[in-house]
């Protein structure tokens, strides 16, 4: 295969690349997306498949599972509470989903409106929970490591103290136990 490439000496030089290298180069993009698929398999697909397997067994969680096939599903379909729960779920969904869609669209219109008074304040109030949660978790972490919130806030005034807190040392360089 012939490929036009830019080199130092000749800007539009035609270079011959062997076909076995072209085939290997076609595989490279899949290497870049493989971490996503490995994480997906580990944390999404595997639990779904394992849950389906467990649903086909009789298992208390403490003993070894005994395979019983679709007996659990047959029992479920004979239970009146299952149909009541499904009806309640459908009623709940029919009320909540349209409400969430309407409120989301209304929020988007308000946030993008050029004529709204105090638009930036409303945007801040809408985004504030996403900002305050990590800050609160940080204070909670420092409180857990030190044990006293006032002391932890005062000791975090310098960056060096914060580094010691985060690696598990107290202000005198000793390990916190």
Would you list the DSSP string of 86-117? HHHHHHHHHHHHHHHHHHHHHHHHHHH-SS-T
Cut 0.75: pTM above it: no
19-71 tens-digit pLDDT: 666 666 677 788 889 999 999 999 999 999 999 999 999 998 888 999 999 99
Residue 4 in domain: no
Cα separation, 9 vs 3, in Å, equals: 16
Contacts of 110 (CB under 8 A, 6+ apart): 116, 119, 122
Residue 3 is inside which H or E element, if any? strand 2-5
Q: Each residue of 126-151: pLDDT tens digit?
A: 889 888 988 888 877 777 766 655 55
Residue 135 lies in a domain: yes
Q: Is residue 152 part of a domain?
A: yes
DSSP-derived 3-state class of residue 61: coil
Number of domains observed in the structure of the chain: 1
Q: How many angstroms separate the CA atoms of 53 and 65, rounded? A: 10
Per-residue pLDDT tens over the stretch 67-87: 999 999 999 999 999 999 999
Q: Is residue 100 part of a domain?
A: no
- The residue among 132 and 10 whose pLDDT is bigger is 132
| Full domain range(s) for residue 144 | 117-177
Asked whether residue 36 is domain-assigned, the answer is no
* Position 155 in a domain: yes
Residue 153 belongs to a domain: yes
Q: Do the domain assignments include residue 149?
A: yes
Residue spans of alpha helices (H) in 41-168: 46-55, 71-78, 80-112, 119-146, 149-155, 159-167
């Amino acid at each position: 295969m012939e490929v036009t490439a830019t080199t130092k000496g000749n800007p539009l030089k035609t270079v011959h690349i062997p076909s076995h290298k072209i085939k290997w180069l076609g595989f490279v993009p899949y290497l870049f997306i493989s971490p996503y698929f490995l994480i997906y398999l580990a944390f999404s697909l595997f639990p779904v498949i394992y849950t389906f397997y467990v649903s086909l067994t009789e298992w208390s969680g403490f003993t070894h599972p005994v395979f019983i096939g679709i007996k659990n599903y047959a029992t479920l379909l004979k239970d009146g509470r299952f149909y009541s729960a499904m009806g309640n779920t459908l009623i709940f969904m029919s009320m909540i989903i349209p409400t969430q869609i309407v409120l989301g669209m209304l929020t988007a219109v308000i946030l993008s409106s050029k004529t709204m008074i105090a638009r930036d304040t409303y945007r801040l109030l809408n985004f504030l929970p996403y900002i305050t949660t990590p800050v609160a978790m940080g204070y909670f972490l420092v409180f857990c490591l030190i044990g006293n919130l006032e002391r932890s806030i005062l000791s975090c005034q310098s960056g060096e103290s914060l580094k010691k807190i985060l690696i598990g040392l107290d202000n005198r360089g000793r390990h916190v136990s």
